[in-house]
Amino acid sequence: MKSQLLRVTAIEPLSPLVSRFRFEHPEGAALPLFSGGAHIVVEMPDGEILRRNAYSLISDPLDGSCYEIAVRREDTGRGGSRFMHTKVAVGDLLRLSVPLNLFSLDLRAKKHVLIAGGIGITPFIAQLRQIARLQVPFELHYAARSRDEAAGLKLLPDVPQIHVHISDEGNRMDLGAILGAQPLGTHVYTCGPEGLIDAVAETGRRLGWPKAVLHSEVFMSPPPGAPFEVTLEKTGRTISVAPHQSLLEALEASDVEIEWSCRGGACGRCETGVSACDGHIEHHDHWLSDDEKASQTKIMPCVSRFQGAKLALDL
Partner 1 sequence: MTIRFNDETFRGDYTYHNSPEAIRRFPFPFDQDSYMYSVNIEPHAGGRAGSPFEKRFDVDEHYVSEMKDRAITLAEDPMRCQSLPHMDLAGWDFLELVMTSKAEDYPELFELHRDGDRWHWINKPMGIEQRFTFLDTTTLPCGPLEYITRQTQGDHALLDQREGNLWMDAGMITSQADWSLDFDIGMNFFEWHAPVPKAHEMGVFQRALKFLLNLQQGAPVRRLNWTMTVNPRLDTSPENYHKWGPEKRTITPETVGSKQYLRVELQTLWRLPRSNAIAFPIRCYLLSLEDLVSVPKWGRRLHRVLRDLPDELAEYKGFAVNRPTIVAYLAQFDDGEPTSPGIFPD
Give backbone dihedrals phi and psi of 97, rounded to 5 degrees, phi first.
-70, 160
Judged on CB neighbours under 10 Å (0-12, 13-18, 19+), 160 is exposed
Can you tell me the distance from the alpha carbon of 124 to that of 114, in angstroms, rounded to the nearest whole number? 7
In the region spanning residues 87 to 126, those forming contacts with partner 1, defined by CB under 8 A, are: 97-102, 104, 106-108
Residue of 296, 309, 245 lying closest to 78 (CA atoms): 245
Which strands form 305-313's sheet, in the order they lie side by side?
A: 238-241, 228-232, 305-313, 272-282, 298-299
In the region spanning residues 162 to 221, those forming contacts with partner 1, defined by CB under 8 A, are: 212
Least Å distance, CB 214 to partner 1, is 11
In the region spanning residues 258 to 277, those forming contacts with partner 1, defined by CB under 8 A, are: 261, 267-269, 271
CB atoms within 10 A of CB 198: 13
Least Å distance, CB 185 to partner 1, is 11
How many residues at the interface with partner 1, by CB under 8 A? 25
Residue at 196: amino acid letter: L
Residue whose CB is less far from partner 1, 102 or 253: 102
Residue whose CB is less far from partner 1, 32 or 308: 32
Distances (CA, A) of 273 to 234, 253, 258, 293, 308: 12, 20, 12, 12, 17
Residue whose CB is less far from partner 1, 177 or 212: 212
Residue whose CB is less far from partner 1, 137 or 268: 268
In the region spanning residues 33 to 62, those forming contacts with partner 1, defined by CB under 8 A, are: 33-35, 38, 61-62
Residue whose CB is less far from partner 1, 105 or 274: 105
Residue whose CB is less far from partner 1, 233 or 271: 271
Least Å distance, CB 241 to partner 1, is 24
Q: Does 79 sit near partner 1 (CB under 8 A)?
A: no
Residue of 15, 144, 143 lying closest to 73 (CA atoms): 15
Per DSSP, the chain holds a count of helices (H) and strands (E) of: 6, 16
Can you tell me the distance from the alpha carbon of 227 to that of 118, in angstroms, rounded to the nearest whole number? 30
Least Å distance, CB 290 to partner 1, is 15
Please report, as ranges, the residues that interact with partner 1 according to CB under 8 A: 1-2, 32-35, 38, 61-62, 97-102, 104, 106-108, 212, 261, 267-269, 271
